Amino acid sequence: MAGAAMLSGCSHGPQTSTHPLPGIDVTGKASLREHAANARLLFGFAVNTAQLRSNRSYRAIVEQQASIIVPENAMKWRALRPSMDRYDFEDADSLLTFAEKNRIKLRGHNLCWHQSLPDWFAASANAADAHRLLVDHIRTVAGRYAGRMHSWDVVNEAINTRDGRADGLRNSPWLRLVGTDYIEIAFRSAREADPAALLTYNEYGLESASPDGAEKRAATLQMLRRLKQRNVPVDAIGIQSHLHAPSTQGAGPELLRFMASCREMGLEIFLSEMDVSDRDLSAAIDTRDRVVAEDYRGFLNTALQERRVTAVLTWGVDDASTSLNAEQPRKDRLAQRPLLFDSRYQAKPSFASVRDAFDARLGAAPARAAAPSTFRLPRL
């Protein structure tokens, strides 16, 4: 496993390779993983295995700040399935080795999605074999890492109310080939393969105040309730939380109501893919950084009121590693600044926002103060 050796072999002191927000220490007890732990939260990033392997500064930030990571792409079908009958686990294995060596928890992403399927899938999968393909994949992948994963995004983004179905389900290849039961089949297969991982339904747009957001929340709750009624093993919901600055809207009360409904169903809640797109902000870096930081603060101050939120992850480590420049390029072609560290690994104002929101969850800063007695913290 050459990849694993490379990922875990090089160690580099995080203190010497990152640059704190001017005047603010971000290391050790001042790191986000420590502030998160004090608020009974896990904090971390979606990571890119190539960066983790080759870039010391990137790796140092992850080691220093994260108590949980998720592969941005390395555990998707496209990465794991070069052909129908072959699996390639090199990157995924190396990531787990890295995580375990550094005592960082690993989320798996994802076992069933309409995107990032390998090219052979469209040409080869059909209604006769798709059910078997799905179950075999989940048995093989979740089974390989059984007992070592914090959680798995078992089904990703299965709702799309614009597809016009009464149940709100997305017209995905899995729905077309396997039928509406594909979600239930995926969760049951995942539980059999790994009884320990928290099995998660992960979705975008749930946090939005728009009419689309309201429809998505309603359809998602309807789907989750139905799964729970049928004793399908769903343990958690991932609210992706891809925000767009300036998010003056903030789905505050609706989001809290949605999260309370999830809690009442017994679900744990992860803010699983946070970033703040600055596509619609003017060019000035100071303004962008300030508005993005305000959006992180505003969103987390609301969302962390829900006690079942147990993890917060950003989708990428530093601004150079965001997927947003490809997905939502700015009109002026400037690089987006949606994350907590800039492309030179300097902590940004958004870092301070996230840290302060974690502290505010305890009602006390600096951290380590006792939680107010009225605030029941989740057990991790």
User: In the set 17, 27, 57, 73, which binds ligand 9MR (CB under 6 A)?
Assistant: 73
Q: Are 187 and 233 in contact (CB under 8 A)?
A: yes
User: In the set 11, 54, 83, 115, which binds ligand 9MR (CB under 6 A)?
Assistant: 115
In DSSP notation, 272-291 reads: EEEEEE-TTS-S-HHHHHHH
- Set 268, 273, 294, 306: catalytic member: 273
**What gap in Å lies between CA 136 and CA 327, rounded to an integer?**
31
Q: Contact between 323 and ligand 9MR (CB under 6 A)?
A: yes
Q: Contact between 204 and ligand 9MR (CB under 6 A)?
A: yes
Task: Provide the 3-class DSSP secondary structure of residue 376.
Answer: coil
Residue nearest to ligand 9MR (CB): 323
- Looking only at residues 330 through 359 of this chain, which bind ligand 9MR when binding is defined by CB under 6 A? none
Q: Which part of the chain contacts ligand 9MR (CB under 6 A), choosing from 58-66, 72-80, 134-142, 176-184?
A: 72-80
> Given the complex with ligand 9MR, which of 117 and 190 has the nearer CB atom?
117
CB of 379 to ligand 9MR, least distance (A): 28
Q: Contact between 235 and ligand 9MR (CB under 6 A)?
A: no
371: left (phi over 0), alpha (psi -120 to 50) or beta: beta
Q: Contact between 50 and ligand 9MR (CB under 6 A)?
A: no
What is the pairing mode between strands 68-71 and 236-239?
unpaired
90 is an active site residue: no
**What gap in Å lies between CA 245 and CA 291, rounded to an integer?**
7
Task: Provide the 3-class DSSP secondary structure of residue 97.
Answer: helix
273 is an active site residue: yes
Task: Provide the 3-class DSSP secondary structure of residue 314.
Answer: strand
40, 137, 151: which is closest to 86 by C-alpha? 137
> Given the complex with ligand 9MR, which of 107 and 288 has the nearer CB atom?
107
For residue 330, the one-letter residue type is R
User: In the set 327, 363, 369, 372, which binds ligand 9MR (CB under 6 A)?
Assistant: 327
User: In the set 63, 207, 268, 273, which binds ligand 9MR (CB under 6 A)?
Assistant: 273
CB of 73 to ligand 9MR, least distance (A): 5
Binding mask 137-176 for ligand 9MR (x = CB under 6 A): -------------------x--------------------
Residue with tokens 């989740």: 378
- Runs of H (alpha helix) within 126-279: 130-144, 173-178, 182-193, 211-229, 252-264
**What gap in Å lies between CA 153 and CA 202, rounded to an integer?**
6
3, 11, 18, 10: which is closest to 318 by C-alpha? 18
Q: Which part of the chain contacts ligand 9MR (CB under 6 A), choosing from 69-77, 224-232, 252-260, 359-367?
A: 69-77
CB of 8 to ligand 9MR, least distance (A): 23
> Given the complex with ligand 9MR, which of 129 and 327 has the nearer CB atom?
327
**What gap in Å lies between CA 239 and CA 308, rounded to an integer?**
12
**What gap in Å lies between CA 141 and CA 76, rounded to an integer?**
10
CB of 204 to ligand 9MR, least distance (A): 6
Q: Contact between 240 and ligand 9MR (CB under 6 A)?
A: yes
Enter the tokens of residue 46: 């979606």
Enter the tokens of residue 281: 């902000």
Q: Which part of the chain contacts ligand 9MR (CB under 6 A), choosing from 50-58, 71-79, 179-187, 226-234?
A: 71-79
User: In the set 34, 72, 207, 289, which binds ligand 9MR (CB under 6 A)?
Assistant: 72
Enter the tokens of residue 331: 């009109």
Residues with catalytic roles: 157, 273
Binding site for ligand 9MR (CB under 6 A): 72-73, 76, 115-116, 156, 204, 240, 273, 315, 323, 327
